[in-house]
Every structure is written in structure tokens, then in C-alpha cells.
Amino acid sequence: MKKFYILFVVLIMAGATTFGLCACDGEDVFFEEEYSCSEETKNIVIDIRDKVVDVKPSFDDKVHLQYFQGEKSKYYLTEEDCLLTVTQSETAGISFGKADRTYRTLTIFLPRKITSLSISTTNEDICIAPFGEAEDIALNDNRGNILLENVFVSRSLSITVKNANISGSVGGGWDDFAIICDVKKGECNLPNLKEGGDKTLKINCNNGDVNITFTAPQ
């Protein structure tokens, strides 16, 4: 098991590099950092608060992360058995909540094929650009929008949002998916239930709108 506790000092070790120094309103001093995973990492769990999570395609087909953190605002990264887990310190929300949006963004670069992706955050958006395909994706956001762009799954896509919206496009056709959709206090362009399909799209949205399209013609 490899466990890395990422501090605000310069780190020199495999997969972690500090790029620069930033200050924010006297609350904390932020360093821009990067972390690179091993080639075997194909499962990602991100469980954080008050952060934007921005998913993009990898430039070398490995998992990479870019982020800012400081003395009071730390991420904790753990790699074990092909699984990357990202959490944060208990005090991070206090400092990050007052920081500029730039310092509250975690960018993750994903390879063309991964097994699973789970992202949970609050008060900020989850944005997923086309990167390839995952077997399973689970997204959870409270008071932040979820924005999808041509997101491909081979098995399941599950999205839970409260007090925000879900929008964008899913890779594949209408007939590829069985749909389970539960929307309260909002508009939705998907049916409550649709059977058939080799994949599952499950939506749970409370106090927000859902507008999802499919990239292949219906």
C-alpha cells in the first residue's frame, strides 16, 4: 500500500510536483501541485467538499491530478490495488470556502479506459469532458451543477444532485439505456422509467432540472 500525505511544502517524490505559490486574502498560502498515478490505477474515488471537480482526457493515458492546497487546506491521496482515493482535511472547507475559485478546483486527467469513477462534492460543479469510457460512473453533488459532455459508460451511470441541475450529453443511443429517473421540484426531459438496454442510467434530482441528450440518434 502506498499512502501520500500531501503537505504545503515542496514535495519531491514519484508522481508529485509543486509548481508555484499563490496567496488568497490572507487566509492561506496556496501551492499549485500535480500528482501522477501508476499505469495500473483504473478506479478513482473522489470524496471532497466545496471544490470544483473538472474531468479531462489524459495526455499520456495515465491518471493525473492538478490542484492547489495550503497549510490549512490539504488533500490526502492514497493508491492501493489499482484504486486512487482522494479526500481532504477536516479544516479544508473553512479555508477553501473563502478562496478564489481557481484554488478550489481539482482537475483530474483520465485515460481512455477506466473501470470506475466516483465523485462526490458540495457547493461547486462537477464537469466531465470526453475522455474515453468507464464501466461505471457515480456522481453526487449538493448545491453544485453536474455538466456532462459525451460521457461514455459500458455499464452504468448514476447521478445524484440536490439543489442544482444536471445537463449535457451521454455517449450512445436511447435504446442502449434502461432509465430510472426520480426528479422532485424540477423539470426533466427523461422518462421516470424506461426498460431495455444493456446499460443503466439512474438519475436522482431534488430541487433542480434535468436535461440530458444522447449522442447517437434515437
Are residues 93 and 166 both part of a single domain? no
Give tens-digit pLDDT for 111-160.
999 999 999 999 999 999 999 999 999 999 999 999 999 999 999 999 99
Give tens-digit pLDDT for 95-109.
445 568 788 899 999
Pick from 12-26, 86-100, 112-126: least confident: 12-26
Return the pLDDT at 13.
36
Structure confidence at residue 218 as a pLDDT band (50, 70, 90): low
Residue 49, CA distances (Å) to 30, 35, 89, 163, 210 in order = 17, 19, 10, 15, 23
For residue 132, is it within any domain?
A: no
- Other CB atoms within a 10 A radius of the CB of residue 1 amount to 6
For residue 145, is it within any domain?
A: no
Q: Provide the residue range defining the domain that includes 111.
A: 1-124
Counted domains in the chain: 2
For residue 201, is it within any domain?
A: yes
Look up the pTM and report it. Answer: 0.86
Place of cell 478564489: 100
For residue 140, is it within any domain?
A: no
For residue 142, is it within any domain?
A: no
**Could you give the CA distance from residue 21 to residue 206 in angstroms, rounded to a whole number?**
39
Residues 214/202/79/14 CA torsion (nearest 10 deg):
20
Instruction: Assess contact for 68 and 31: CB atoms under 8 A.
Output: yes
Structure confidence at residue 202 as a pLDDT band (50, 70, 90): very high
- Other CB atoms within a 10 A radius of the CB of residue 60 amount to 10
Are residues 120 and 159 both part of a single domain? no
